[in-house]
Amino acid sequence: MTGSAPTVLIVEDQRGLAEAYETVVGMDYDTRLATSGDDALEAMDESVDVVLLDRRMPGMSGDEVLAEFTEQGFSAMVAMLTAVEPGVDIVEMAFDAYVTKPIDNEELLDLVDTLLQRSEYDERVQQFFSLAAKKSALEAANKGDTDEYDQVITEMQTLHEELGSVLEEVSEQIDPRLQAD
């Protein structure tokens, strides 16, 4: 992280909602606001630590913005913050959390705090938490009986075996519900 306070990029096409998020998050963090995919690409740089990304936007979707961030090699933690129920397509997406709206102020701040904490961990630990977010989103959308869900579970188990007790300690610190089965 750079600067005195971490930087959060809020990407939300509904200006009122974007400004509400900015008011809440801006109490603790530096913020940038983008109300379109193009604005998000302009606002993004290496100083951004966390991105709160709406998935469904006119023009460039959040999925497309995320793909562009990935292609450009940005290392910010990304939370898809959306009203879109997840489908199996999320398995291939490079996000760190998938949160379905609405979200209250406390949950929003907890989400940013959690992502910032995760950003300090080893890349493989971060990958585990990304998979855990996908597992949770798929379960919430009743997609637990798909090949993609099985793929996520297999990858989580492999990482859990590789990382052993380190992962268990980290996952308990952040959220005990995220442990692999």
Residue 141's identity, in one-letter code, is A
What does the alpha-carbon distance between residue 149 and residue 134 come to, in Å, rounded to a whole number? Answer: 8
Do 105 and 147 share a domain, yes or no?
no
- Residue after which a domain boundary falls, among 72, 97, 120: 120
- Residue 81 · residue 110 · CB < 8 Å: no
Do 103 and 140 share a domain, yes or no?
no
Do 13 and 66 share a domain, yes or no?
yes
User: How many domains, the chain?
Assistant: 2
Per-chain mean pLDDT for the chain: 88
Domain that holds residue 175: 123-181
What does the alpha-carbon distance between residue 6 and residue 85 come to, in Å, rounded to a whole number? Answer: 29
* Residue in this structure with the two tokens 């709160």, named with its chain if needed: 52
Beta-carbon contacts of residue 50 (< 8 Å; ≥ 6 apart): 6, 7, 8, 9, 29, 76, 77, 78, 79, 112, 115, 116, 119
Q: For 114-156, how does the pLDDT look when each residue is reduced to its tens digit (9 = 90+)? A: 999 888 888 888 888 899 999 999 998 999 899 999 999 999 9
Q: For 8-50, how does the pLDDT look when each residue is reduced to its tens digit (9 = 90+)? A: 999 999 999 999 999 999 999 999 999 999 999 999 999 999 9
Q: Is the pLDDT of residue 2 over 70?
A: no
Instruction: Using pLDDT thresholds of 50, 70 and 90, give the confidence band for residue 177.
Output: very low
pTM for this structure?
A: 0.84
